[in-house]
């Protein structure tokens, strides 16, 4: 449907409530085809009724994410929440909800801990965690739920160890992350997730202030103090919560989806097993591109009128950058719904782009590389219990993924 607004500029609208379900875990929703053709389309968010602009295509999204006229602040009235937000969702944000210069200054506090060089130092710890979890898997009688017994647990353990969160509290973190990011969570559950995790992290920060350890939380506190900077404990709590949520939810989704994808493409898996050292890095990039679990996770607000290929997004309106359309753009990735491990490239936008590019991208990459090279070496007979098409998926969730993944193997 096409309408005319804002000084007679054409406006394309989709009448189907948004988000739209995918046809399959690695395919774009059927409705995206027309949206991609139009480039920029107005959609109505299903749970709030808010009209926002959906921007599609690789080049458009890259240009927009590098544009200083968009804001990541949750405080704007038209910020594209997919749920009715409690007040805390607008105020309890870390630097992912800041704009420059506040964003630049806050991100700098932890950026050094997530560089490729620094993350490589975590390799022994990550390998140990993966091996321990595979040991536990092999102690089980198959079939087992791979998602709950491995995919969620591995990155949760890694990020918790890095941040200094006690192992006994990992289940608490997973529960509240599911409530915060789940498509079907109630406003009460989301509010409880924010409040209870904030309280937990506030206690953790207070403890680390008194008894610092060899962990990232203690290191960030020390950096503030070394620079002679004052900080609000709330600011630090919000930052640690963001690292905690981002450090396990997204990687867990990719472990399950990527594992299932490789198992359903035995020819590609055979290539990976034949040359794991040479192929694993492009393989990770290709699987991240194909899944694009953050399709809905890049909301913004226009600070000024922005003309995108003839469509004007008015100042103050919400924007969604649909990363799945960027990573499945045939002009950039020919035959985009085909898995081709050798074409994997860092130009894919699965980790975002611009100033808000995922700060934990290098950590996620290393975890995924070690998971897939270790998992299939140690459990070569691993297979799905049922086709992936029959596995329940997190349609409409901020972070796309699976609710479960039943697997089995030869004992």
More confident residue, 47 or 303: 303
Beta carbons within 8 Å of 10's beta carbon, 6+ residues apart: 2, 3, 4, 310, 311
Q: What is the pLDDT of residues 119-157, one digit of tens each?
A: 999 999 999 999 999 999 999 999 999 999 999 889 989
Distance CA 366, CA 120 (A): 8
Q: pLDDT band at 3, cuts 50/70/90? A: very low
Whole-model pTM: value is 0.90
Q: What is the pLDDT of residues 68-122, one digit of tens each?
A: 999 999 999 999 998 888 787 787 778 889 999 999 988 888 888 999 999 999 9
Give me the pLDDT at residue 318, please: 98
Distance CA 20, CA 322 (A): 11
Q: What is the pLDDT of residues 246-301, one digit of tens each?
A: 777 899 999 999 999 999 999 999 999 999 999 999 999 999 999 999 999 999 99
The DSSP code sequence of 371-410 is HHHHHHHH-TT-EESS-GGGS-B-TT-SS--BS--EEE--
Domain containing 111 equals: 2-408
Give me the pLDDT at residue 187, please: 67
Beta carbons within 8 Å of 58's beta carbon, 6+ residues apart: 325, 326, 327, 329, 331, 332, 349
**183 pLDDT higher than 70:** no
Torsion of CA 116, 122, 127, 132, to 10 degrees: -140
Average pLDDT over every residue of 218-224: 84
**403 pLDDT higher than 60:** yes
Distance CA 243, CA 117 (A): 18
Q: Residue 237's domain is classified under what CATH number?
A: 1.10.630.10
Number of domains in the chain: 1
């Amino acid at each position: 449907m096409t309408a005319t607004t804002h000084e007679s500029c054409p406006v394309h609208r989709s009448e189907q409530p948004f988000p739209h379900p995918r046809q399959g875990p690695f395919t774009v929703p059927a409705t995206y085809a027309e949206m991609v053709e139009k480039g920029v389309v107005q959609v109505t968010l299903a749970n709030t009724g808010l009209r926002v602009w959906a921007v599609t295509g690789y080049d458009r999204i890259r240009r927009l994410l590098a544009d200083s006229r968009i804001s990541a602040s949750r405080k704007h009235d038209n910020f594209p929440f997919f749920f009715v937000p409690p007040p805390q969702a607008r105020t309890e944000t870390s630097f992912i909800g800041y704009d420059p210069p506040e964003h630049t200054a806050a991100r700098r506090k932890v950026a050094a801990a997530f560089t490729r060089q620094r993350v490589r130092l975590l390799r022994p710890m990550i390998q140990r965690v993966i091996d321990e979890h595979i040991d536990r898997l092999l102690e089980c009688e198959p079939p087992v739920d791979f998602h709950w017994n491995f995919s969620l647990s591995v990155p949760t353990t890694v990020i918790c160890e890095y941040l200094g969160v006690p192992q006994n509290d990992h289940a608490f973190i997973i529960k509240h992350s599911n409530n915060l990011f789940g498509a079907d969570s109630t406003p009460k559950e989301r509010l409880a997730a924010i409040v209870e995790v904030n309280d937990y992290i506030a206690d953790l920060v207070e403890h680390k202030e008194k008894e610092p350890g060899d962990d990232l939380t203690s290191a960030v506190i020390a950096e503030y103090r070394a620079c002679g900077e004052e900080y609000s404990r709330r600011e630090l709590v919000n930052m640690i919560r963001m690292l905690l949520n981002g450090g396990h939810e997204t990687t867990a989704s990719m472990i399950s989806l990527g594992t299932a994808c490789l198992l359903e493409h035995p020819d590609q898996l055979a290539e990976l097993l034949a040359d794991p050292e040479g192929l694993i890095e492009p393989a990770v990039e290709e699987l991240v591109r194909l899944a694009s679990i953050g399709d809905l996770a890049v909301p913004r607000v226009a600070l000024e009128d922005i003309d995108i290929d003839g469509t004007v997004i008015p100042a103050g309106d919400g924007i969604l950058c649909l990363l799945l359309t960027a990573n499945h753009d045939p002009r950039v990735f020919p035959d985009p719904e085909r898995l081709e491990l050798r074409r994997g490239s860092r130009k894919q936008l699965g980790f975002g782009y611009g100033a808000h590019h995922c700060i934990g991208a290098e950590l996620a990459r290393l975890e995924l590389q070690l998971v897939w090279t270790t998992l299939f070496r140690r459990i070569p007979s691993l297979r799905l219990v049922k086709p992936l098409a029959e596995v329940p998926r997190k349609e409409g969730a901020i972070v796309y993924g699976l609710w479960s993944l039943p697997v089995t193997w030869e004992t």
